[in-house]
A and B are shown apart, each in its own frame.
Chain A
Amino acid sequence: MPKFVSDGQLPIFDRLKALGVSPLGAVLLVVLALFPLVVQDEYLLRLLISSMIFGSLAMAFDFTAGFINIVNFGYAAFWGLGAYTSGLLAVKLGLTPWLGIFAGALIAGIVGLGLGILTLRLAGIFASCMAWFVALALMAVASNWVTLTRGNSGLSVPLFFDSPENLPYYYVVFALTIITYAVLTLVTRSRVGLAFKAIGQNLPAAQASGINPTKYRIINFTLSCTLAGLIGGFYAHFVGILGPNVMHTSHTIEVMAIAYVGGRGSIWGGLVSALILIPLMEYLKPFMELRLIMYGALLVFVMLFYPQGLSGIYYGVKEFFRRKIAARGMDAPHHN
């Protein structure tokens, strides 16, 4: 089989590969990095920023759903918890947002850890239900504890930057997306990641190999919630106003649909599908209900007919071409 990129020739690709970035992914990243320098449209930039927010959330969601097979049905609450923590610290204590977002991540991670310890030793549906209950309770607290959160009228949060331009936000969220992706890929490629896959694919076999499923599930769940909190912190200082609706179940469903359309267990699929779906849905905004119906239909469709999602299509196409090339290689044999 002919090699287009040999292992020694272009070390940069090997380095990237170790981080889980394929050549195609590298091209996508370069395009994303250069995009705002070429196209200076504030509306489009804002759209891409929210795509990357949801893309990062979907990647971190997929880290739990696609690997250990636990659906975090209160995911938006961890996102909102990070947002509220960072926002409240900035408002009440004057903490700079740059530290606040890490505090948000920490709090979301701690709640995730507690919830994980409580539910992850049980069947997956317990974790899903409990995460949902936590989300509903947090949302109720956010709207009823008016003295702290200003309830439904919304909490004004200081922004990251003084200028109203979207460009600096774009690069912050771009960096966050890359960090999220790199962390998730490095973890899934480590020994711990192997344990995650084993648990997700065959629980009894994983247990028989001496893996403690509860422990690894908790590690995974906590990391996923921490990342949601981090992204939530960014979101708070990006939009500038927070309402309890951040934690609404409809946001969880949005993240979920994006992650599953992207393809479970692929990590990168979530980002790609967010970059496609969020702008698409934005153009459907006048039809608010139809938009949500589409999310529902997409979820059902992907589950019923194409459980591998976009990543499945990508790998299918890749496999197809690999076979083609291999077949041609057989016609005209050559040495390696």
Chain B
Amino acid sequence: MELSQIWELVLTAILRGGLYSLMAVGLSLVFGVMNIPNFAHGEFYMLGAYVSYFIFSTFNMGPIAAILAAMVATFVIGAIVEKLFFYPLRMRSKDQWLMNTFLVTLGISIMFQNGARVIWGSTYRGITEYWPGKLALVSEMRIASDRVIGFGIAMVAIAVFWVFLNKTSLGRAIRAVSQDENGALLMGISLNNIHTVTFALSCMLAGLAGASLLAINPAYPIMGVVPLYKSWFVLILVGMGNVGASVFGGLIVGVLETFSYYMFGAGWQDAISLLIIIIILVFKPAGLFARKGVKTVWEQ
């Protein structure tokens, strides 16, 4: 392998990993706070892509407007989904909560995927680029500026989100609920509102990922499956409910995937990923960066 080739692979890996990080952070947050394994997470990625596509190419607005619109739309849809499905389920009973919510999110995912197919058809809806041109990062290597800006957006979003979780009172409330629901309730935190906001924020991050990568991944109904699969991969790799570590996990998975693609060719990455997960589960079943006291290891 030549040096420039390695550079190219590493860059692709990191850019791809940024997307997985963004997806995994949202998934991990919902799992940590609400104990919901959200298998509809990829569908918000899909919705984000569709919204930004329509804003950008049908209404001819700028890229920033498109991405913002996608964020707002997925936030609102996420909030509605939470109120419509998980709120009644939580009110009814908490028995077998994890498996029930798992099935509900699956149902939502199927409805969204096929709903999108009914409404928009199975065609790919992509744009050539948000921001024209290429950037030269390393000597003669040039990368489409969309990729770099997309990665930048992902990293800024994660940073902003980190500050939000740690420095604002709402963020602190969310973390309090993830640590101890009853304790948070005693401190005067409204669990219902926190759950809705958390779910909506997580959906918004997925929508942001879908929107900012529209130039690379065109919008189509089942586009969310692969990012969903990869973000679950990240979660198992780093430990479930560990939001901070998901960022590194995303980058690791991006590197793994890009290199296994390069070495073994398309189609075999799934088998390689599985092999790695098996090794992790054998030797470190709680994940690479597992912290003690993550509440979701034994579900009930």
Contacts and interface: CB of A to CB of B under 8 A. Distances in A.
B99 A296 contact: no
A299 B299 contact: no
B274 A137 contact: yes
A125 B100 contact: no
A303 B270 contact: no
A32 B94 CA distance: 39
Contacts of A124: 98-99, 299
Nearest to B118: A289
Interface string B263-287: 0000111110110011001100100
Contacts, number: 124
A69 B271 contact: no
A307 to B, nearest CB: 7
Interface string B112-134: 01110110000000000000000
A123 B267 CA distance: 29
Contacts of A204: 300
A58 to B, nearest CB: 14
A172 interface: no
A296 B114 contact: yes
B292 interface: no
A140 interface: yes
Nearest to B119: A289
B170 interface: no
Contact of B104 (A133, A289, A292, A300): A300
Task: Point out which of B108, B270, B298 has the most chain A C-beta atoms below 10 A from its C-beta.
Answer: B270
B115 A293 contact: yes
A125 B240 contact: yes
Nearest to A125: B37
B162 interface: no
Interface stretch (A46-54, A87-95, A114-122): A114-122
B271 A141 contact: yes
A120 to B, nearest CB: 11
A70 B96 CA distance: 10
Given A125-B98, A304-B85, A140 B268 contact: yes
B160 interface: no
Contact of A304 (B89, B110, B277, B300): B89
Contacts of A69: 96, 99
Contacts of B269: 140
A260 interface: yes
B270 A140 contact: yes
A304 B108 CA distance: 12
Size category of the B interface is 35 or more
Interface in A70-128: 70-71, 118-119, 121-126, 128
A203 B96 CA distance: 11
A44 interface: no
What DSSP secondary structure best describes chain B's contact surface? helix
A306 to B, nearest CB: 11
A303 B110 contact: no
A133 B107 contact: no
B236 A253 contact: no
A144 interface: yes
Contacts of B298: 123, 203
B167 interface: no
A249 B113 CA distance: 13
A130 B277 contact: yes
Nearest to A65: B99
Given A129-B232, A304-B104, A119 B267 contact: no
A196 interface: no
Given A293-B118, A297-B107, A125 B102 contact: yes
Interface residues of A, number: 44
A203 B300 contact: yes
B111 interface: yes
Contact of B103 (A126, A136, A203, A303): A303
A17 to B, nearest CB: 29
A299 B101 CA distance: 11
A295 B225 CA distance: 18
B293 interface: no
Interface in B235-264: 236, 240
Contacts of A118: 278, 281-282
A256 interface: yes
Nearest to B109: A296
A90 to B, nearest CB: 25
A205 to B, nearest CB: 11
A249 B109 CA distance: 12
Given A118-B282, A130-B281, A307 B100 contact: yes
A7 B104 CA distance: 43
B233 interface: yes
Nearest to B228: A132
Contacts of B92: 304
Contacts of A133: 229, 233, 270, 273-274, 277
24 contacts: A71-B99, A118-B278, A118-B281, A119-B281, A125-B102, A125-B240, A126-B236, A129-B232, A133-B233, A133-B273, A134-B274, A137-B273, A140-B270, A143-B267, A144-B268, A203-B300, A204-B300, A260-B103, A289-B118, A292-B110, A293-B118, A296-B107, A297-B111, A300-B103
The 7 closest A-B pairs by CB, nearest first: A296-B110, A300-B107, A299-B107, A144-B267, A296-B111, A140-B270, A137-B274
Interface of B: 37, 85, 88-89, 92, 96, 98-100, 102-104, 106-111, 113-115, 117-118, 225, 229, 232-233, 236, 240, 267-271, 273-274, 277-278, 281-282, 285, 296-300
Given A132-B229, A143-B267, A303-B89, 10 more contacts: A70-B99, A125-B102, A125-B299, A126-B281, A130-B236, A144-B268, A203-B298, A299-B103, A304-B89, A304-B104
